[in-house]
Amino acid sequence: MSFRNDDISRDRLEALAAFQRLVHFKFKNASLLNRALTHRSCVNEDPHSHGNNERLEFLGDAVLGLVTAARLFVALGDKSEGDLARIKSFVVSEDTLSDIAARLGLDALLLVGKGEERSGGRNKKAILADALEAVLGAAYIDAGFDKTQELVLSFINPEIEKVLTDRHRKDYKTLLQEYAQKWHHCYPEYELDRKTGPDHDRTYWMKCTLLGMAYGPASGKTKKDAEQAAGAMAYDAIIAAGGTEAERLLASRRL
């Protein structure tokens, strides 16, 4: 696998340099970083491209998982394996990683194909999360484990703190489902209410029904996001109405 900086334009190199200053990590080979920020859709449309970020994402996922698990193991010696696994699932989730990637400006740095661009690909959570993991894979190849660990912890430590202080993004669909199963032996149901906007910029509106009550519709750029929003509306309504069972369940999920 070869990477050459002279294949990258000056403007692109300057943009990559600005990112490196932001994250306080200097790549010896900027082409590694450039590859990490190249989506496969760009390669599919450009026969002169030197490859996409999928292999780097595979490596970065492993590095991220190891660093996060080791950090939790050392820092939270009083927590069970189940608690550690649950914290880790929040910290390395697609939602968390895509939020970090967006804050770091990876959406603007991503190289995507024209079709993916038209469909809003550079802002898709999965693509952003994968790009961040690819950057970590590139960092590992470029500088080794110790320096990459420092980079990972620089943005993972605040996310761990959010979970420990209950300020992280909740998975309301799961919370609502666990509440419904435990106390009412049923499941919430989700139904598409409507879609709005053009094909390349859809907004979905979903309703959540539980125990004969409908909540929503709530919106999201994907059906999954809209379902989460509808689930949050339902769960918040149950709490507001004095759903003590839900409150106990939520408390049991906190660490």
3-class state of residue 217 by DSSP: strand
User: Is residue 38 a contact partner of residue 111, using CB atoms and an 8 Å limit?
Assistant: yes
Report the distance separating Cα 25 and Cα 217, nearest Å: 44
Length of the chain measured in residues: 255
Contacts 24+ apart (CB under 8 A), 155-159: 155/100, 155/104, 156/64, 156/67, 156/68, 156/71, 156/91, 157/71, 159/90, 159/91, 159/96, 159/100
Could you please report the per-residue DSSP string of 153-174?
HHHHHHHHHHHHTT-SPP-HHH
In order of 79, 154, 158, 218, 233, the CA distances from 72 in angstroms are 9, 14, 12, 35, 32
User: Is residue 249 a contact partner of residue 182, using CB atoms and an 8 Å limit?
Assistant: yes
Active site positions, annotated: 61, 133
Report the distance separating Cα 87 and Cα 69, nearest Å: 9
